[in-house]
Structure 1
Amino acid sequence: MQAGIHPEYRQVVFVDTTTGAKFLAGSTVDSQDTVEFEGASYPMIRIETSSDSHPFYTGKAKFTQADGAVDKFNKKYGLA
């Protein structure tokens, strides 16, 4: 690796704007905002969706039903 061309990797707090959940992770994203998390100050990045609010992880995902979009496509184009 060449020296001086890679961004700084540091601990950042991501805040889910939908639920308010916070989690600490390593990132190269730059931020001017800071937040206190577990007794220390970290840069803060706001995100709209995380595992705390995404329907797949919360169990509120919409699945294609028996007569859903896939079956309609198969009926329309004659696939078995």
Structure 2
Amino acid sequence: MITKCLMCGGKTVRKKVTTENWWGEKLTFVENVPAFVCDTCGEQYFEPEVCEELDRLRETPPVAKKTIQVPIYNFPKTIVR
């Protein structure tokens, strides 16, 4: 159990989160993932069993609950220093 954020020192609380998961070149999201979330900065921490289950999902992806489209943009080159 992670009670203190390693990034900012804030307190973590148990929550269900949506996390991104790259399966090869395919970006996916997994909903309702148990995590410890920092109440100050929002950093998320997962227990080993949760990480193992996410790995299993990568190996044998389930049928998608839904599919969304996400636009992709190029960053403007005008801010080069």
TM-score (ref. length: structure 2): 0.21
If you compute each CA radius of gyration, which structure gives the higher value, 1 or 2?
1
